[in-house]
Structure 1
Amino acid sequence: MAQKPAARAPRPEGPRAGGPPSAGPRDDDGGLRRALALALLPGIDELTRRVVDDIHAHSGTYASGSPVSRDDLREICRYNLLRALEDFGGLPSGGDDFEHAARETGRRRAEQGVPLDTVLQAYRRGGRVMWQVMAEHLRATRGTPQAVGQVAGDRDTELDMAGAVWETIDRYSLEMAESYRLTQLEMQGRQDTRRVALFEALLDGRGDDPAVAAAASAALGVPVHDRYVIVVAAQDPAAPPNPAPVLDDHGIWSFWRPRSGRYAGIVRLAAGESAVLLDLLRHRTGATAGVSPEFDRLSQAGRALRLAEQALRTLPAGSGEAAAFDDRLAEALLVGRPEIAERIVTTQLGGVLDAAAEREVLLTTLRVWLDHGCSAVRAAELLYCHRNTVLNRIGRIAELTGRSAESGEVRLGWALALRALPLIGSEDARAPVEGDSGRA
């Protein structure tokens, strides 16, 4: 690649097109530039061919012909070279100004998805070839009536012209790159809008239309058929607004959007990642979140959203807990029927709730005993007491409720009541219980 010459003492730029040349022992820079531009313009097609050949020889992307065909490259190179020579020589433009040519190139290449570095390299290659042709002309005409800049400093003349060429290419490159980046931003904005709209369509249940599912798959960049879950996270003030960065850090793809005061996200899972997802939601995001069962088609996202919302409703607000719907089936049933949940609590544990002095210890003991297969030995180990103490407490619960601890139906009723307890609205039911995790 040709190097830009070292800085020289500045000289006033010569007149632009239409102005008289300055007198003196040598032409000024403007006159030389104009003469070179006029000399190269008649051979613009050959110059274009050389530039296209050079770019193809040094860029696998362009040489492949996709996404930029040779005809496309030739057309835009010729367009740019014409404007560059006119700008370089201070000539009247035969079409759009050079800024327009550069912006058009940046826009087109951004839309085609050609990397910006590749486009900038093509500009540099084009500038290099343009200077080579100029240098060839200077040397070929030296000492002839067509010569320009024939003074003792011919080498200095070439250096001056090389610097002027690279100034022109640099200006083109800046304009092109700015247009490229703006086009990328515009495209990204359109893509984001489309992605959001199609994600909302999935959540609204419109994924049953194969065309919608296919479009959503393309917009989100994931398969129509795979392993997914929907997560609904409360917008807790203490939690990050969007769990995506945490999941991204662990290689888990997700897409999130605020929705009705919450964040709804679709998460793509590999085999065995469900537990990892729950762990990350609980311990890395701090969000209170409900997670749907896994589903294998994007068209099922609407149903999964409803189940994730139900799972979230079973969790205390601001708890930072994450729960899978399948782990909260009883709670999901109860939270949807608050009058039944309250009745279960009242009929199954009413006497215990009325025993204020014993309430907390009895409820904690009952929970641990049920959670561990109604084993007094195991419950005693976890509660740091004697097994007889556990048996006495269970007996006391049976006495207060008027029910037999030996009955499977009674044990089921107690388990449901413990699950319903955090879900009902009474102050008594919501009073803190030591060791209460919301699960039987």
Structure 2
Amino acid sequence: MNDEPALRRELALTLLGDLDNLIERLADDICAHSSRYASGTPVTHEDLHRTLRGNMEIALREFGRIPDGERLFEAVAAENGRLRAEQDMPLATVLQAYRRGGRVLWQAMADWMRDRSPDQQHMVGDMAGAVWETIDRFSSAMADAYRLRMLELQHREASRRGALFEALLDGRAGDPAVAGAAATALGVPRQDRYAVVVIAQDAHDAVSPPDPAPALEGWGLWSFWRPRADTVAGLVRLRAADPAELAEALRGQRVGRAGISPPFGELAAAAQGLRLAQRALDTLPPRSGEVASLDDRLVHAALGAEPEIAERLTVRYLDGVLDSGAERDVLLGTLRTWLDSGCSASGTAARMFCHRNTILNRIGRVAELTGWPADSGEARLGWALALRALELDH
């Protein structure tokens, strides 16, 4: 006759009757093997004892098949898992505590079994399997609930961080409460050295928006990114870095066309940073893949803000060259290089790999077609501005 069910019930009732001592042994063993539990943070010692009592009572009732009409086995395990997730206790640490609990429980059962008859002691193997099956079921239900709750918490936190980031970009950080909440959620100080980056999602780009954060971390740059309409906006903590380093890092990741704001010192200025980064982006040709900071494109940004003025500049200073047919591209290229070389014919010739007299002839031809003398300061300024206005004519 198999009296294992009766023996299991007797064993469970015996241990339930001495539950206080068993809980103390459990708590001491868990704290001896986990500095997190021993510290009392985030799980207090009172919380640990209370949870152990509930877990052990339900586990012993399950093992002994003693009905408990008030609580279900899986429900208690799931409640524990959700609680530890909310306390941000590492799942590995919690599972280790469950394993330690299983060892202590089995030791208490083995001690009790030593005083049983030889026939009953033959059931030790089956009893051990039942104990660990109970512990495994409890651990599995707890871990499933833990992971689900952690996903919920992470989604909630991500949504909160995203909402506060949008508040920064929308200009609501003038409210100190909003700025403080955003700084806390993002994990950065309210005052530091920041820049905003706007990355265009051009039609040919990948469907998924870029996430430069991991690569920028390699440069020692913290960042936070969010999609916005046809762009991706990012807040970058520059610290001692400058926008040129940031631009180089972004180019290395091939994020596509991107504009970078000038540095600013407070999160409250992020909305202005967004506007200026967008201005820098607007100066770059679509699908060019270029990355530029506003300070490197100030003339382009100023001209882009006044398209009628930009158009008049090209007409007034370059109209004849633009209508010169086959000469156009050579003359424009030579003029651009000549201006960038400080209006030096020799310097331009070296850069373009041609004779100095060739440069002089071409600049003379520009002067002839435009009606402006090459030695005129106004002509040189007008030509330089008109050439940049042409770059905006996408």
Runs of 5+ unmatched residues, structure 1: 1-23, 425-429, 431-440
Equivalent residues in 2 for 1:112-191, closer than 5 Å: 112-139=87-114, 142=115, 147=116, 150-152=117-119, 154=121, 156-191=122-157
Preserved contact between residue 244 and residue 293 of structure 2 (Cα < 8 Å): no
CA distance in 1, matches of 2:127, 2:229: 64
Higher mean C-alpha deviation, range 174-183 or range 274-283: 274-283
C-alpha separation in 1, matches of 2:381 and 2:71: 82
Deviations 1:164-200 (A, max 9, x none): 1111111111111111100100001100110110000
- Asked whether 1:238 is paired with 2:213, we answer no
Question: For 1:132, what is the secondary structure of its paired residue?
Answer: helix
2:3 aligned partner = 27
- Paired residue for 1:275, among 240, 244, 265? 244
- Residue 153 (structure 1) shift: 6.4
Q: Which amino acid aligns with 2:24?
A: R
| 1:215-245 Cα distance to aligned partner (Å, 9 max, x none) | 1111112221222111111112335621324
Secondary structure at the counterpart of residue 358 of structure 1 = helix
Across the aligned residues of Structure 1 and Structure 2, the Cα RMSD in angstroms comes to 1.5
Name the CA distance, whole Å, in 2 between partners of 1:371 and 1:32. Answer: 96
Aligned to 1:285, which of 254, 269, 287? 254
- Give the structure 1 partner of residue 343 of structure 2: 374
The TM-score normalised by the length of structure 2 is 0.95
Write out per-residue CA displacement over residues 27-81 of structure 1, whole angstroms, 9 at most, x where no aligned residue.
13x2222121111111112211111111111110010011111000000110000
Residues 421-440 of structure 1 correspond to what in structure 2 (within 5 A)? 421-424=390-393
CA–CA separation in structure 2 for the residues paired with 1:124 and 1:251:
40
**2: distance between equivalents of 1:293 and 1:345?**
28
Distance 1:105 1:62 in 2: 15
Give unpaired runs (5+ residues) of structure 2: none
Residues 219 and 249, structure 2, Cα contact 8 Å, conserved in 1: no
Structure 2 Cα separation of the partners of residues 221 and 381 of structure 1: 52
Checking the alignment, whether the CA contact within 8 Å between 1:293 and 1:326 is kept in structure 2 is yes
Give, in whole Å, the separation in 2 of the partners of 1:75 and 1:95.
17
Matched, 1:344 2:313: yes
Q: Give the corresponding residue for 1:54.
A: 29
Corresponding residue of 1:393: 362
The Cα offsets for residues 394-420 of structure 1, whole Å up to 9 and x where unpaired, read as 111111111121122221111110000
Find 2:47's aligned residue among 41, 61, 72. Answer: 72
Asked if the contact 1:246/1:285 (under 8 Å) is kept, the reply is: no
CA distance in 2, matches of 1:113, 1:152: 47
**Based on CA coordinates, which of the two structures has the bigger radius of gyration?**
1
**One-letter amino acid of the counterpart of residue 135, structure 1:** A
Q: CA shift at 1:246, angstroms?
A: 3.6
Deviations 1:321-376 (A, max 9, x none): 01100011111111111111000110011111111121100100011111121121
- With normalisation by structure 1, the TM-score equals 0.86
Quote the Cα distance in structure 2 between the aligned partners of 1:286 and 1:226. 25
1:99 deviates by 0.8
Q: Which has the higher helix share?
A: 2
Matched, 1:193 2:168: no
Contact 1:33/1:89, CA 8 A, preserved across alignment: yes
